[in-house]
Structure 1
Amino acid sequence: MPVITVEAGKLNKEQKRELVKNLTLEASNIMSVPKEAIIVFLKEISTENIGSGGQLLSDRK
């Protein structure tokens, strides 16, 4: 059973729905496994918990 994990900033429900659908379909096609075997985990990370270039993303404007 393939597992796909995506870590990203905040997503709305429609974005999540589309992401899970497209990742599942593509992985199913590429790996030749049924889409029911694909598991997708979405992990939303607050910009307060992401740093880039020495700064929190929440501090950037």
Structure 2
Amino acid sequence: MPIVTVQQGPRSVELKRELVRQITDAFVDAYRIPAETVQVWIQEVPTDSWGAAGTLTADKSPRAGRPSRGRAGPRGGGPDCTGGEGRSQGSTPGSRR
């Protein structure tokens, strides 16, 4: 049973529902497994609990450095739109970080 962990800043329930649906669909398509076997764990980090480039994210303007809608930023970095949003780590039971 695949477990995908997504670390990101706060998002709406609607966006998280869509993310879970799309990640599940990707595993179903790639691994040919039932959707019921896919787990997606979303870990939201408040903006006052992480930073990037020496600045607390809560101190940055809300839209600063965010990519245009529909395209994720480069991989790596913190759990925001500019780096780690949606950065998922597939794992198997027992190999959780």
Please report the TM-score for the alignment, with normalisation by the length of structure 1: 0.92
Partner Cα separation in structure 2 for residue 11 and residue 59 of structure 1: 18
Q: Secondary structure of 1:33's partner?
A: coil
Question: Which amino acid is the alignment partner of residue 44 of structure 1?
Answer: E
1:1-61 matches, within 5 Å, as 1-61=1-61
- Name whichever structure is richer in helix by fraction: 1
Percent of pairs with identical residues = 34
Return the offset for 1:28. Answer: 1.3
For residues 10 and 24 of structure 1, what CA distance do their matches in structure 2 show? 20
Residue 4 of structure 1 and its aligned partner are, at CA, apart by 0.5
Q: Deviations over 1:7-59 (max 9, x none)?
A: 11111110011000110001111112111100000111111111100111111
If the length of structure 2 is used for normalisation, what is the TM-score?
Answer: 0.60
Q: Which has the higher strand share?
A: 1
Match of 1:40, as an amino acid? V
Aligned length: 61
CA distance in 2, matches of 1:51, 1:31: 35
For structure 1, which runs of at least 5 residues remain unmatched after alignment?
Answer: none
